[in-house]
């Protein structure tokens, strides 16, 4: 698909109302939102072609109704307000516009089967990250997050990066996970013979296990000085067996734990050791996904800053995080703002992703012991000279490229688990073109890299409060209006939220009290009682 066409189809998406955005999704994804069964009665010859990885039918022009419009009006591969209004009108005529939108809260009956002692559900907004091009394919990425400005920032960063080739992403072909079995009470003089037995009995393939490795780990004293030993504890080393398992497109947690428990008795028999824990490891360093981008300095210009200024300031911010772990943890938190939001939207174990990512930030896990700082930023940024541009006669800054990279151990699954339990996950996967586990991991690292780039760019130039407070003001205005409606038993026009937010920003006071004052000024009503904004 032409990336420019992809971008034009979604231009101004943020300006639309919620209902208009939902209608646009129905038009753009007829297969996903059951449009073909109805629309095909209009254009019987149209049969949407399924796609993998890149978002299918991301141009509105690909929907059956849109194609009918193009035939009637001799338009091709373009979208404008006139066409959009035509499509919405057609939706209404089919009564599809009135159907409940399927991306909504989890049914309580389903929730009750998912966890213990269930008493209800909690909702999170789901938004779309736009402008992404990954491996030359445009894609729309759902994100579930309550924090304002994240989706706007990541979409803005993607627009900049996609103006020059977009993101490149790679991940291993094999989707593997590690199951751990620890064997205890093996005397030190018997440790080497025990390890050698694994070499003779290594499982190469079968049941998903394709390899086995052994680690010999020295014990340390309990760090709590109040600890009182209650067992002999006469062994000084742990023998930790890693079972490397190909889990295909599953996340693989249950599979790994089941294999660990099933194999443990045989391992104990081989070594004479006592069986300890048998569990998966959430650190899968064989499951690394990497995202990167390169962009000419000239395309980095932002607000009133030149591309060279933006690049220099981002490098300074990154290098600070390299030497200060107080800054590094906040730097990495911004990365996870993006990754966690995609994980939540697609039913992934975001806690496992968080844990492995922060472990990977430690030099000892990466295997890099040369740095004095033991916790480092997960992204890297640098400026390099482009030899091809130099060969074409470019000189100085004109042949310099700004580069960014993020590599993480990401364990995700697109088969099994809770994905088939919650229909919202299936729709969100469908918006992305139903990626497999490898592709989903690549999407996540691209989101993480874009989010970090956006944060550093804002921090290093105008600061984050300017953009963040606009959205925060909207939340405050909404809370004040809700409070007003509850106290006066009346309703306020929704457009007042925007007006109140704007006036609070102009006054330089974004508080609930200010919002209440502005409501009283514009809509004289009885005095609003105290209401706490949460």
Which residues are designated catalytic? 147, 333, 349, 468
SS3 101: coil
Indicate the helix (H) or strand (E) that contains 403. strand 400-409
Residue pointed to by tokens 């990754």: 339
Residue pointed to by tokens 């998903």: 208
How far apart, in whole angstroms, are the C-alpha atoms of residue 47 and residue 44?
8
Which CA distances in Å does 209 have to 256, 260, 404? 9, 11, 35
Nearest CA to 455 out of 339, 323, 342, 314 is that of 314
Residue 101 backbone dihedrals phi, psi, to 5 degrees? -75, 130
383, 311 in Cβ contact below 8 A?
yes
Nearest CA to 378 out of 456, 448, 315 is that of 448
Which CA distances in Å does 267 have to 136, 211, 242, 264, 282? 47, 15, 11, 5, 22
Name the DSSP class of 397.
G
Per-residue buried b or exposed e for 15-42, using 16+ beta carbons within 10 Å of the residue's own CB: eeeeeebbbbbbbbbbbbbebbeebeee
Pairing of strands 400-409, 126-134: unpaired
Nearest CA to 447 out of 143, 137, 136 is that of 143
510, 490 in Cβ contact below 8 A?
no
Cβ neighbours of 319 (radius 10 Å):
12
How far apart, in whole angstroms, are the C-alpha atoms of residue 219 and residue 19?
60
Cβ neighbours of 158 (radius 10 Å):
29
Residue 428 backbone dihedrals phi, psi, to 5 degrees? -65, -40
Q: Which residues contact 393 (CB under 8 A, 6 or more apart)?
A: none
Nearest CA to 278 out of 291, 263, 292 is that of 263
Q: In terms of residues, how long is the chain?
A: 534
Per-residue buried b or exposed e for 436-446, using 16+ beta carbons within 10 Å of the residue's own CB: bbbbbbbbbbb
Q: Is 227 exposed, middle or buried (0-12, 13-18, 19+ CB in 10 A)?
A: exposed
């Amino acid at each position: 698909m032409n990336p420019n066409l992809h971008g034009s189809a979604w231009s101004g998406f943020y300006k639309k109302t919620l209902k208009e955005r939902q209608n646009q999704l129905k038009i753009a994804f007829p297969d996903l939102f059951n449009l073909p069964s109805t629309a095909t009665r209009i254009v019987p010859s149209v049969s949407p072609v399924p796609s993998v990885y890149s978002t299918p039918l991301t141009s509105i022009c690909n929907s059956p109704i849109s194609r009918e419009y193009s035939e009637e009006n001799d338009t091709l591969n373009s979208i404008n307000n006139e066409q959009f209004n035509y499509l919405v009108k057609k939706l209404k005529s089919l009564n599809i516009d009135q159907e409940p939108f399927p991306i909504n809260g989890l049914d309580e009956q389903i929730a009750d089967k998912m966890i213990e002692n269930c008493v209800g559900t909690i909702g999170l907004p789901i938004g779309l990250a736009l402008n992404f091009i990954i491996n030359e394919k445009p894609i729309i990425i759902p994100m579930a997050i309550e924090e304002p400005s994240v989706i706007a920032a990541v979409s803005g960063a993607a627009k900049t990066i996609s103006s020059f080739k977009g993101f490149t992403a790679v991940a291993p072909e094999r989707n593997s996970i590690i199951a751990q079995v620890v064997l205890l009470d093996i005397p030190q003089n018997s440790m080497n013979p025990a390890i050698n037995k694994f070499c003779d009995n290594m499982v190469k393939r079968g049941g998903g296990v394709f390899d086995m490795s052994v680690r010999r780990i020295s014990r340390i004293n309990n760090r709590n000085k109040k600890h009182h030993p209650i067992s002999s504890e006469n062994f000084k080393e742990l023998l930790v067996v890693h079972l490397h398992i190909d889990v295909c497109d599953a996340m693989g947690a249950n599979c790994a734990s089941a294999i660990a428990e099933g194999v443990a008795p045989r391992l104990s028999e081989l070594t004479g050791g006592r069986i300890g824990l048998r569990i998966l490891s959430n650190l899968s360093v064989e499951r690394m996904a990497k995202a990167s981008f390169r962009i000419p300095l000239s395309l980095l210009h932002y607000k009133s800053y030149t591309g060279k200024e933006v690049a220099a300031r981002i490098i300074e911010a990154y290098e600070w995080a390299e030497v200060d772990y107080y800054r590094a943890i906040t730097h990495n938190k911004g990365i996870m703002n993006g990754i966690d939001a995609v994980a939540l939207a697609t039913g992934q174990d975001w806690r496992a992703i968080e844990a492995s990512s922060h472990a990977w930030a430690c030099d000892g896990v990466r295997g890099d012991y040369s740095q004095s700082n033991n916790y480092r930023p997960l992204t890297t940024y640098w400026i390099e000279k482009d030899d091809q541009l130099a060969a074409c006669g470019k000189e100085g800054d004109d042949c310099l490229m700004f580069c960014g990279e993020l590599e993480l151990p990401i364990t995700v699954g697109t088969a099994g688990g809770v994905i088939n339990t919650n229909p919202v996950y299936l729709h969100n996967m469908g918006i992305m073109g139903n990626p497999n586990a490898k592709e989903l991991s690549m999407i996540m690292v691209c989101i993480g890299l874009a989010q970090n780039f956006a944060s550093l760019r804002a921090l290093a130039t105008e600061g984050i409060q300017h953009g963040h407070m606009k959205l925060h003001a909207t939340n405050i205005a909404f809370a004040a209006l809700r409070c007003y409606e509850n106290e006066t038993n009346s309703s306020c026009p929704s457009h007042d939220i925007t007006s109140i937010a704007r006036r609070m920003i102009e006054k330089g006071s974004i508080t609930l009290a200010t919002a209440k004052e502005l409501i009283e000024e514009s809509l004289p009503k009885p005095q609003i009682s105290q209401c706490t904004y949460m």
